[in-house]
């Protein structure tokens, strides 16, 4: 036998240059004072303006093909972009529902006309997109959707109610599933609609903490042209699920978020003097750092593998047929169901990192950060409520995009091969 392989964590020159370019641009361009909250009118304008600046610099959709405003970078380079973006504390992506949920579906199932019409405007946030999946009676049981799309001349008429629609209060368009047939799963169609169209009523919903981050959408005979059906009529469930991995997996909450949060947590821990004082808290900081690092490395592996999968590979080696291949990381690649593992992991990691931070802050947790002029305050703690906002945000993670209970069932059945529930 000969020495069998090498591994490294060193980026190639092209990727290092890309990282340097992104870091340098962000250092010059990220606003020094945080933008107003994205849910407010002023915040909405400011975040759209920020997206236009990103787009003008060619940095709003780096992983997309150049034809739609992207730079066609590798999955690894996209991860690097996200690391830098979060490291720089750059503004929240107002169009993330469009960029990270709808766009992958358009690339897979959309027509050339839809891509040409929708993607460049999305890349510049000319159109901001909201998701419209959940309904009052269809949450975890998403296939229980009741909102209907009824055939009419040249299109469809939408009626019903959607809820928990992120960004819907101020977005321009939304996408979701509508009932077009009686079959639970094969009677749903993926449709995109204009939130300003006649028959649409949007009612913002205040969240824990007070922000109106999501909304209810009431639909009364809202016309949608055939051109805005995504994929095949009645096949909407398949269309949505084929890219559900994007929401659960890497793209919606990119590893960069947790890498940056873990680094900030370590700084907070040191500057608060807690690294020397409290072994219990220190253990939790260490545990959080390990988990964030695990997720970062895991995503590097996924990205590297995705790139490798774009080229033909030799058949798998013999001799492993008797082992459940599903349990190895390499065997899980590209599977939408494997993204369920990722989703459970990052959502619980996110909560844990913020809980430790709040415990470190102690009586200052309820104001979200150490007060100005306090000895332990970090240099970059300008946004005093960042940890509190982050905590509130993190608490939604185990709920949205399929609750973690649903994800664990999916993992057990689709990844581990256990028999299906009676449901």
Partner 1 sequence: MKLTPSAEQEQFAAALHAMLTEADIPAVARQWAADDPAPGQALWRQLAELGVTGLAVPARWGGLAAHPADLVVACEELGHHALPGPAAESIAALPVLLTALGDDALCETWLPRLANGEVIGTLAVPPHVPYATDADVVSLVLRADEQTLRLGVPGPRLRSVDGTRRLVEVADGALLATGPAVGPAIAHALNAGALACAAQLLGAGHALLETTLRYAGQRTQFGQPIGQFQAVKHQLADVAIGLEFARPLLYAAAVALADHPSTAARDVSAAKVACADAAQRAARTALQVHGAIGYARESGLDSWLTRIWALARTWGTQSWHRDRIRTALATGALT
List of residues contacting partner 1 (CB under 8 A): 1-12, 15, 76, 266-267, 269-270, 275, 282-283, 285-287, 289-291, 293-295, 297-298, 300-301, 304-305, 308, 313-314, 316-320, 322-324, 327-330, 332, 341, 344-345, 405, 407-409, 411-413, 415-422
Kindly state the smallest distance separating residue 133's Cβ from partner 1, in Å: 23
Kindly state the smallest distance separating residue 4's Cβ from partner 1, in Å: 4
Spell out a b/e string for 263-287, using b for 16 or more CB atoms within 10 Å of the CB, else e: ebbbebbebbebbeebeebbebbee
285's tokens: 């900081």
Q: Are 289 and 378 in contact (CB under 8 A)?
A: no
User: Going by C-beta distance under 8 Å and a sequence separation of 6 or more, which residues neighbour residue 412?
Assistant: 418
Q: Smaller CB distance to partner 1: residue 41 or 419? A: 419
Q: Smaller CB distance to partner 1: residue 184 or 323? A: 323
Q: Whole-angstrom Cα distance, residue 294 to residue 14?
A: 25
276's tokens: 């020397």
Q: Smaller CB distance to partner 1: residue 238 or 282? A: 282
Helix 279-309 and helix 255-271, axial crossing angle in degrees, nearest 10: 160
In total, the chain counts a number of residues equal to: 423
Determine phi and psi for 261, rounding to 5 degrees. Answer: -65, -40
Kindly state the smallest distance separating residue 242's Cβ from partner 1, in Å: 22
Q: Smaller CB distance to partner 1: residue 17 or 367? A: 17
Kindly state the smallest distance separating residue 177's Cβ from partner 1, in Å: 25
Q: Smaller CB distance to partner 1: residue 235 or 299? A: 299
> Which listed residue (247, 313, 355, 413) is catalytic?
247
115's tokens: 């891509």
Q: Whole-angstrom Cα distance, residue 177 to residue 172?
A: 17
- Among residues 130, 111, 134, 244, which one has the least CA distance to residue 193? 130
Kindly state the smallest distance separating residue 93's Cβ from partner 1, in Å: 25
Kindly state the smallest distance separating residue 272's Cβ from partner 1, in Å: 11
Confirm whether 247 is a catalytic residue: yes
Q: Whole-angstrom Cα distance, residue 297 to residue 263?
A: 15
Helix 75-87 and helix 255-271, axial crossing angle in degrees, nearest 10: 30
Q: Whole-angstrom Cα distance, residue 191 to residue 149?
A: 9
Q: Smaller CB distance to partner 1: residue 21 or 126? A: 21
Strands (E), 10-154: 129-132, 148-152
Neighbours of 145 (CB within 10 A): 23
Q: Smaller CB distance to partner 1: residue 209 or 324? A: 324
Cα-to-chain-centroid distance, residue 53:
21
Kindly state the smallest distance separating residue 369's Cβ from partner 1, in Å: 17
Cα-to-chain-centroid distance, residue 402:
13
Kindly state the smallest distance separating residue 267's Cβ from partner 1, in Å: 5
Q: Smaller CB distance to partner 1: residue 233 or 287? A: 287
3-state secondary structure of 31: coil
Q: Measured between alpha carbons, how far is residue 375 from residues 31, 262, 270, 271, 385 in Å?
A: 26, 21, 12, 8, 17
Catalytic residues: 247
């Amino acid at each position: 036998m000969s020495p069998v392989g090498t591994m490294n964590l060193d980026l190639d020159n092209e990727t290092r240059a890309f990282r340097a370019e992104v870091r340098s641009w962000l250092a010059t361009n990220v606003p020094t004072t945080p933008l107003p909250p994205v849910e407010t009118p002023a915040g909405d304008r400011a975040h759209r303006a920020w997206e236009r600046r990103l787009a003008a610099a060619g940095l709003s959709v780096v992983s997309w093909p150049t034809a739609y405003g992207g730079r066609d970078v590798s999955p690894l380079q996209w991860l690097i972009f996200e690391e830098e973006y979060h490291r720089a504390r750059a503004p929240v992506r107002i169009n993330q529902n469009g960029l990270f949920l709808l766009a992958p579906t358009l690339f897979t199932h959309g027509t050339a006309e839809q891509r040409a019409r929708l993607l460049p405007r999305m890349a510049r946030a000319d159109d901001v997109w909201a998701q419209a999946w959940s309904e009052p009676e269809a949450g975890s049981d998403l296939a229980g959707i009741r909102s209907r799309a009824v055939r009419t001349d040249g299109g469809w008429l939408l009626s019903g109610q959607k809820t928990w629609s992120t960004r819907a209060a101020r977005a321009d368009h939304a996408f979701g599933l509508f009932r077009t047939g009686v079959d639970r799963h094969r009677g749903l169609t993926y449709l995109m609609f204009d939130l300003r169209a006649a028959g649409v009523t949007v009612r913002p919903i205040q969240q824990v903490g007070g922000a109106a981050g999501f909304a209810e959408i009431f639909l009364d005979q809202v016309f949608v042209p055939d051109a805005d059906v995504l994929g095949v009529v009645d096949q909407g469930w398949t269309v949505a699920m084929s890219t559900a991995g994007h929401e659960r997996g890497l793209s919606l909450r990119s590893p960069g978020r947790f890498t940056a949060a873990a680094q900030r947590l370590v700084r907070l821990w040191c500057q608060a003097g807690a690294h020397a004082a409290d072994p219990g808290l220190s253990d939790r900081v260490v545990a959080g750092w390990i988990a964030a690092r695990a997720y970062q490395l895991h995503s590097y592996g996924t990205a590297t593998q995705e790139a490798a999968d774009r080229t033909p590979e030799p058949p798998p080696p013999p001799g492993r047929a008797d082992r459940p291949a599903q349990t190895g990381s390499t065997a899980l690649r590209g599977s939408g169901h494997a993204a369920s593992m990722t989703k459970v992991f990052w959502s619980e990691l996110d909560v844990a990192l913020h809980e430790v931070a709040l415990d470190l802050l102690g009586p200052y947790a309820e104001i979200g950060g150490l007060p100005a002029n306090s000895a332990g305050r970090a240099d970059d703690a300008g946004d005093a409520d960042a940890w509190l906002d982050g905590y509130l945000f993190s608490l939604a993670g185990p709920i949205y995009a399929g609750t973690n209970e649903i994800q664990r069932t999916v993992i057990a059945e689709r990844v581990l091969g256990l028999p299906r529930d009676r449901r």
